[in-house]
Every structure is written in structure tokens, then in C-alpha cells.
């Protein structure tokens, strides 16, 4: 679940909901999960068809397709993981940069601050990985708790009655008319389309091979890999559906941020990012 949840959840899911509407966003989420679910079933079939040793995804693929294809796919998979790490690190660095800017803290400038924070983050993660699986497993528990607290904090925030200042920025409590208005798409920009939103969201459904990659450290990988992979896909899909529904029920697309302006649900422009 840690490898499936990512920066897209926090920075782009609300924007995708604004563009595609709640209905099409659900279609995008379910379609992405269906695609990764097929991969998860394939992984489960390989993992349960014989003894699973160390080597993770490379071992599973090479055992089924041969070492030549396994090696080539494993090389592509390694580059894909590197790109994914870069994407998540940049998203994290941008968020930290924005939080620092809100409090007037600037190291160099907006662009170089992202680079500095990103380099420090990647270095810390590299050290954590080189320390071994024992430290990585402990860190994963901590990271999982942080994510769960953030999701709980988000849900509580949707329930708390909004102040006039928040309403001026487009944040309300649950309202049926907001849900109805945000259920349909409202494309903004020439690049906005169903497949454009799908391509942006799809990385949020990947990362399902994290369990298979630690096959050598699992006590019973034949049982753990299928259960863990498919369960992770299910619960992350539920979380995406819930977040898109709740944000679409509480936030209007058009808000000026001025208390004196009369808020209107029509015409909507974009969903305020949280």
C-alpha cells in the first residue's frame, strides 16, 4: 500500500476530480485498478505455481519466461523504479517548499529549494536502503502510520464545519448540491480529456510489485504475495474512491478567496487543491 499511494494522491487526485468530475474519476480509478489487478493476478499465479526464492520480480519472470526475457524486463523495471522515485521525490520537495514559503522560509529560490530538498531526501532514503531490510521494515511501519494519520486528518477536515474564510476559498462541509455539480466533468484547457486524466492518475495504481520484490525476506512468499498484493490493490482503490467522492462533495470548483464575493457553484472552473 505504501508503494501504491504516492504523490498523485495528494497533489493531483483533487485536480483530476475537478476536471473529470466524480463520475469519470471513479471510472478512471476503477479502470486503473482493473489493469493493475490483472497484473496482480498474474503475479499471484506465478507465485503460487512452485517454490518462490529470493530475487523478487526478476525471479518470478525469469522462471516463467526464461532468464533472457527476465533480465531484459528486470532492467526496464529498475529504470521504472528510478523514475518513480524521482517523481515522488520532486512532489514531496515541492510540497515542503510551499510549506516553507507560507512561513517565509526560503533557502535560495523556488526552483533551487526543490533541488536541495530533493537531494537531501534521496540521500536519506539511500542511506535507509543501504542500512538493510531490518531498518527499511521499521521505517515502512512509521511511514504507513504517517499516511494513515494524514488520511484520517483529511476525513476529519471534511466533517468540521467550514469557517467563512474557508468558504470564501471554496471549502464547505458536505452538501448534496456540490456533489451533484461536481459529479459531471468540466474540462478546462486543450490538454484536458479523459485519457489525459487517466495518464496522469495511472501511476497512482502502480507499485503493486513491492511485495514480490521482497520474496526472499518473506516467511511464506507463496501465500503472502497473492494476499498482500490483491488486498493492497483493493484497499487503495477504496481510498481513492472515497477521497474523490468526499472532495467532490465539500469543495466548489470556483472560489475567489474574498469574503465579500458571493460564492456560486456555476460556472465551475477548477477544484481548489488541498
First to last CA, the chain: 22
- Helix 221-250 to helix 176-183 angle (10° resolution) is 110
What local confidence, expressed as pLDDT, does residue 260 receive? 65
Q: Which long-range contacts (CB under 8 A, 24 or more apart) does 157-160 make?
A: 157/274, 158/246, 158/247, 158/249, 158/250
pLDDT tens per residue across all 274 residues of the chain: 888 888 888 888 888 998 989 999 999 999 999 999 998 888 888 888 777 776 677 777 777 777 777 777 778 878 888 888 888 888 889 888 988 888 888 888 888 889 999 999 999 888 888 887 677 777 888 888 988 999 999 899 888 888 887 888 788 888 888 899 889 888 887 778 898 899 889 888 888 877 777 776 777 878 888 888 899 999 999 999 999 999 989 888 877 666 665 444 444 444 444 4
DSSP-assigned beta bridge partners for residue 105: none
Query: Which pLDDT score is estimated for 252?
Result: 85
Distance CA 200, CA 28 (A): 10
Which residues are within 8 A (CB) of 218 and not within 5 positions of it... i.e. 6 or more apart?
Answer: 52, 211, 224, 225
pLDDT at 62: 73
The confidence score (pLDDT) of residue 29 equals 94
User: What pLDDT score was predicted for residue 4?
Assistant: 86
Q: Which residue has the cell 515541492?
A: 94
pTM, two decimals, is: 0.80
Amino acid at each position: 500500500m505504501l508503494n501504491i499511494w504516492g504523490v498523485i494522491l495528494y497533489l493531483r487526485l483533487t485536480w483530476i476530480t475537478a476536471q473529470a468530475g466524480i463520475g469519470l474519476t471513479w471510472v478512471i480509478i476503477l479502470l486503473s485498478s482493473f489493469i493493475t489487478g490483472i497484473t496482480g493476478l498474474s503475479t499471484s499465479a506465478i507465485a503460487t505455481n512452485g517454490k518462490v526464492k529470493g530475487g523478487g520480480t526478476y525471479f518470478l519472470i525469469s522462471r516463467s519466461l526464461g532468464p533472457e526475457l527476465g533480465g531484459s524486463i528486470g532492467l526496464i523495471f529498475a529504470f521504472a523504479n528510478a523514475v518513480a522515485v524521482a517523481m515522488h521525490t520532486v512532489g514531496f520537495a515541492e510540497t515542503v517548499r510551499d510549506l516553507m514559503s507560507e512561513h517565509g522560509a526560503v533557502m535560495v529560490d523556488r526552483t533551487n529549494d526543490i533541488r536541495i530538498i530533493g537531494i537531501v531526501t534521496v540521500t536519506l532514503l539511500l542511506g535507509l536502503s543501504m542500512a538493510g531490510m531490518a531498518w527499511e521494515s521499521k521505517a515502512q511501519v512509521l511511514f504507513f502510520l504517517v499516511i494513515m494519520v494524514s488520511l484520517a486528518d483529511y476525513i476529519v477536515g471534511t466533517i468540521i464545519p467550514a469557517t467563512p474564510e474557508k468558504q470564501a476559498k471554496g471549502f464547505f462541509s458536505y452538501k448534496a448540491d456540490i456533489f451533484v455539480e461536481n459529479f459531471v466533468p468540466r474540462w478546462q484547457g486543450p490538454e484536458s480529456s479523459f485519457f489525459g486524466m487517466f495518464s496522469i492518475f495511472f501511476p497512482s495504481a502502480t507499485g503493486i510489485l513491492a511485495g514480490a520484490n521482497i520474496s526472499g525476506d518473506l516467511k511464506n512468499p507463496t501465500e503472502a504475495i497473492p494476499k498482500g498484493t490483491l488486498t493492497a490493490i483493493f484497499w487503495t482503490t477504496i481510498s481513492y474512491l472515497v477521497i474523490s467522492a468526499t472532495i467532490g462533495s465539500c469543495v466548489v470548483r470556483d472560489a475567489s478567496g474574498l469574503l465579500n464575493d458571493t460564492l456560486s457553484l456555476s460556472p465551475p472552473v477548477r477544484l481548489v487543491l488541498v
